[in-house]
Amino acid sequence: MAGLARSRWPWISLLLSAVLVFNPVGLNLLHSAFFAGEQLARDIAQLVVLTALAIMAVVIGLEWLVRSLIARSRARGVTR
């Protein structure tokens, strides 16, 4: 498969994050986090949303790091 360009862009994690956010449950959780009528419900939902955001950011960062390491090792000719 010569000529196959590999990207360092973490597209798998970004696609998974978009699927998790833009489904009915994710949108409902986002709405609850910022527009809920009760303060307790808003605080709990914000904690869940911010925790999920932090986890998604870590996963995206890890995918970018792994892709960068693979691209660097392939540029040196270590792996095929």
Q: What angle do CA 22, 27, 33 make, to 5 degrees?
A: 135
- Give pLDDT, residue 22: 94
* 80 pLDDT tier (thresholds 50, 70, 90): low
Distance CA 53, CA 73 (A): 30
pLDDT digits (tens, 9 = 90+) for 10-68: 888 999 999 999 999 999 999 999 999 999 999 999 999 999 999 999 999 999 999 88
Check whether 1 has a pLDDT greater than 50. Answer: no
* 78 pLDDT tier (thresholds 50, 70, 90): low
Q: Are 65 and 9 in contact (CB under 8 A)?
A: no
